[in-house]
Amino acid sequence: MQNLTRRDFLKIGAAGASVGLLRADGSSASAAAAGPKRGGTFTLARTASIQDFSGVNLIMGHFAFVRALYNTLVRLDRDLNPQPELAESWQFSPDGRTMTLKLRGGVKFHSGRDFTAEDVRFSWEFSTDKTTGSPQMRELFSLIKEVQTPDKSTVELKFDKPNPLVFDALDTLCMFDRTSVGKLGHTDAGSGPFQVVGYRPGGDIHLKRFEGYWEADKPSLDEYVIRQIPDSGAMVLNLESKAVDAIWGVPLHEVARLGALPGLTVDPGPPPPNMYQLMVNVRSEPLSHKKVRQAISHAIDRERICKTILHGAVKPTWLMWPKGSWA
């Protein structure tokens, strides 16, 4: 069984930052030091389709655009340390049951509306609602019990008790334009560096630089195109023919070959990109017996599975906690 943990969701960024093959641009060290090249179009291909443009509907096909279209209040860096995004600062009450955030000024949604504290409250309500929220993330967002808005630039989050997972929630709670969420079937409702300018179901998604973005020097690209190619073999051919710049979700049997080709770079993404696990019903005979389960565990040749079936792309482990987990 392949499983993505909540920590995987937190670490997956925009524009193909997860498992994929990125084409090297051949730029020199001096050019890299001068900063990113501005302009142009980046095209990413993946096999997965999309359901809508909701930033909290975290299915595999949506990972490629969530960070491009939406901002969050706080962003966790690669070491999972909280960094300011739409919230410039925050502080906790002495009892740990209230978190007060000061919002960044000058932020606009793609519709042109100003971002305010009311949008934070709406986004929380939208993301915890059973009809519009994410089944994967609703429980996490529900750790916030109330959102109060003393003024347009201040938000107070209320908890039943001190909440050590609040930064996980704030890193994934996208800020929605409440006037645009009715259009998520064909466009976005965000404030991110890109906005949707074209979409054909089953076809390409065209994103364009949002000229009103609050970080004036971002994004570097003019356009970002997400292409759906359902057949993984055809997707690989598109990469090798340079029809696309990157592919996401590389077939495991192709990783070693493609990684050895000049001009291609394999990026496995944050560890672990995925996890394969065997779960059993311990209430049923004979699996209810500890020795039977131990015998099954000893009989599984993890190294051989990783080498032959997973083509050496992953490392075997004997613990239920992957290396990317704090546990």
- Express as a percent the part of the chain with pLDDT over 90: 57
Q: List, in sequence order, every residue forming a beta bridge with 156; answer none if it has no partner.
A: 100, 148
- The whole-number average pLDDT for the span 245-259 is 86
Q: What is the pLDDT of residue 78?
A: 81
Burial class of 251 by CB neighbour count within 10 A (0 to 12, 13 to 18, 19+): middle
Give the model's pLDDT for residue 124. Answer: 97
Q: Is the pLDDT of residue 5 over 70?
A: no
Of all residues in the chain, what percent carry a pLDDT higher than 70?
A: 84
Task: Using pLDDT thresholds of 50, 70 and 90, give the confidence band for residue 31.
Answer: very low
DSSP summary character for residue 259: H
Answer whether residue 6 shows pLDDT above 80.
no
Positions of CATH 3.40.190.10 in the chain: 2-267
Check residue 181 and report its DSSP letter: G
Residue 175 tokens read as 């800020």
Strands laid side by side in the 98-103 sheet = 87-92, 98-103, 154-158, 146-151
pLDDT at 273 over 70: no
CATH topology assigned to domain 2-267: D-Maltodextrin-Binding Protein; domain 2 (3.40.190)
Q: For 327, what's the count of Cα atoms within 13 Å in the CB-facing half-sphere?
A: 6
Residue 266: band (very low, low, confident or very high) from pLDDT cuts 50, 70, 90 = confident
